């Protein structure tokens, strides 16, 4: 369960690095904010579903 989520975050990080060479700084900041919101949402879901140690 956790591994799948980490893989997804790695994909997001790769996308962020790819974009950083092409986009203005403000878009990178926006992407970082979205990534943090996504991570918070995933943590909230984990605690709600009690599958933290699956």
Give the model's confidence band at 22: pLDDT under 50 very low, under 70 low, under 90 confident, else very high: low
23: left (phi over 0), alpha (psi -120 to 50) or beta: beta
Backbone angles phi, psi at 22, to 5 degrees: -120, -20
**Per-residue pLDDT at 53:** 58
Give the model's confidence band at 28: pLDDT under 50 very low, under 70 low, under 90 confident, else very high: confident
* 54 pLDDT above the threshold of 60: no
The pLDDT of 16-30, averaged and rounded, is: 70
Largest CA distance in the chain: 40
* 5 pLDDT above the threshold of 80: no
Q: Any residues with CB less than 8 A from the CB of 35 and at least 6 apart, and which?
A: 9, 12, 13, 16
CA 32, CA 9: separation in Å to the nearest integer? Answer: 12
């Amino acid at each position: 369960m956790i591994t799948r989520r980490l893989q997804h975050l790695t994909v997001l990080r790769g996308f962020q690095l790819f974009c950083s060479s092409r986009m203005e700084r403000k878009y990178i900041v926006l992407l970082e904010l979205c990534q943090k919101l996504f991570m918070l949402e995933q943590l909230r879901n984990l605690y709600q579903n009690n599958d933290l140690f699956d």
